[in-house]
Chain A
Amino acid sequence: MSLLLQSLVLGVLLGGLYALLAAGLTLYFGVMRVVMIAHSAFLILAAYLAWFFTRTTGLDPMISLLLTVPLFFGIGVVMQRLLISRLRPATLTMMSVLLTFSIALTIEGLLGFAFTGTQRRIRLPYGGANFEILGANVAVVKLIAFLLAAVSLGALFLLLKKTQFGQALRATIQHPEAARLVGINTDRVAGYGFGLGLATAAIGGTALALDSTIYPSLHWHWIGPLMAIIVVGGLGSIPGAAIAAMVLGLGQSLLQIPLGTTWAQTFFYIALFATLMLRPQGFFGGRLAQRF
């Protein structure tokens, strides 16, 4: 029983991180109809930066967020303006996949170049600490990672719902032509949307670095589940992505008990195929998903 509870708690904690990252992936897709394969590569890059930051300065990895979040936001804007917007609209979906895929490969290669393929892990003074909640044993770092993700996701949600920029962004996602007609500079909004998406990767990466061992090719273990999440949630829907992330994260965590870690991962892919077979527009998707 306590094992089940343990898995439930871990599932929620993992789901939070998935939700943040899937929200980022949804943003790119929303503003540009781009499936951003490099999202998880940036995630690992941020994790490496956090690790490197702690190793060289001895400070807490979360302080690296002050650097990586603005940096990644900037990279996202530049990437959208200089690379993605160069592609012809007719072939944008396919070519942008290739382009972001090539960015992912380059990042993976450069990480291997700079830090070798050795597995890395941050040593934290509170790294081994746990506490008990309802009989489940939870590592402090996992809780911190979850809180980081939850707070960021909340902030992102408020930004989208309450600010004028958020409104412009949502309008651009829902109907770019109409958004242009009412005077929204959709190009600029798309750039910022990209920046925001990449910023989620920066936060997620730092959260990941707190309690995981990292290595350059780790991003492939993330991109699959994340893409499954955004399809299940309905391409382009941020709440859908968040809900799907929680459900699938919990599912993975629970299935680990009878199946073990490796086979539990297949849960994401089974959910992906099942969704495409039964409800190709996703479970929470709106109009967007129908045509993609």
Chain B
Amino acid sequence: MTVTAAAVQPNLATVGLTKSFGGVTAVDGATVTFQHGKVNALIGPNGSGKTTFFNCVTGMIKPDAGTATYRGRDITGKASHRVARTGIGRSFQLCRVFPRMTVMENMLVAVRSTSLRRQLASARDPQELDRARGLLARVGIDHLEHSEARDLSYGQQKLLELAGVLMADPETIMLDEPAGGVNPALIDRIANLVRDLNAEGKTFIVVEHNMDLVMSLSDHVVVFDRGRQICEGPPSVVQNDPRVLEAYLGI
């Protein structure tokens, strides 16, 4: 999985992205380029602004300054449903599902309806149901189709969230701590899913604290500290960069 650097296309890219809350600058002029078709990792110590960065580029919050582009299209400050329509799907740090809707209903939320007729048509379109069941089977929770999401275990909810994001068929998937709070077997399952999906052409941008996972999974690593990129490169290079050690150990 070495980067042959032949034709690295930019996927999501930001220039000088900045967001502060009151007196705290969470993202401070972040200029980052993620690679299309690859598994990108975004790492950094706690509070280095990774999640705020995610929220800024996906339209959950408006950045104070800077620009974000996705495959050349400007997405700065766009509402999150518009960002989603450009082909970016995302998960949340503490996994978020719709608790009092069934697993199947959770899946159907992401189905895009272009016309008024389709909006008013029954949500239980056989084709979409089949696709949803296929994705649920893929993450391994198809037997829970009729359960309410709040009755699922945390791990199952994480899988449901991932399947729900896939339902919108995004080109790029941003995962915020996919391995957070789940057991090792499930981490393996999620890692395999990411690999398979990447092989099928999906780009990933993953925020993760589990370094083994980051190193084994990703092609390209971006390291954040205090709201901006301090270094980037393939995992093997980043691992040995003194700036990264400094950021993590605070030397």
Contacts and interface: CB of A to CB of B under 8 A. Distances in A.
7 contacts: A90-B99, A174-B22, A175-B21, A175-B22, A286-B22, A287-B21, A287-B22
Interface in B13-70: 21-22
Interface string A65-106: 000000000000000000000000010000000000000000
Q: Interface of chain A, helix or strand or loop or mixed?
A: helix
Nearest to A90: B99
A174 B22 CA distance: 8
A174 B20 CA distance: 13
A174 B23 CA distance: 11
Interface residues of A, number: 5
Interface string A2-25: 000000000000000000000000
A287 B21 CA distance: 7
A90 B21 CA distance: 23
Interface of B: 21-22, 99
Contacts of B22: 174-175, 286-287
Nearest to B21: A287
A171 B53 CA distance: 23
A229 to B, nearest CB: 23
Shortest 7 CB-CB distances between A and B: which pairs? Answer: A287-B21, A174-B22, A287-B22, A286-B22, A175-B21, A175-B22, A90-B99
Contacts of A90: 99
Contacts of A286: 22
Nearest to B20: A287
Contacts of A287: 21-22
B208 to A, nearest CB: 21
Contacts of A174: 22
B101 to A, nearest CB: 13
Nearest to B22: A174
Interface in A264-288: 286-287
A234 to B, nearest CB: 14
Interface string A152-196: 000000000000000000000011000000000000000000000
B25 to A, nearest CB: 13
A79 to B, nearest CB: 27
A41 to B, nearest CB: 32
B242 to A, nearest CB: 29
B54 to A, nearest CB: 17
Contacts of B99: 90
A287 B26 CA distance: 14
A292 B10 CA distance: 36
A287 B22 CA distance: 7
A90 B100 CA distance: 12
Contacts of A175: 21-22
A175 B47 CA distance: 14
A145 B99 CA distance: 50
A95 to B, nearest CB: 15
Nearest to B23: A174
Contacts of B21: 175, 287
A179 B82 CA distance: 34
A134 to B, nearest CB: 42
A167 to B, nearest CB: 14
A174 B21 CA distance: 9
A90 B99 CA distance: 10
A286 B24 CA distance: 14
B84 to A, nearest CB: 19
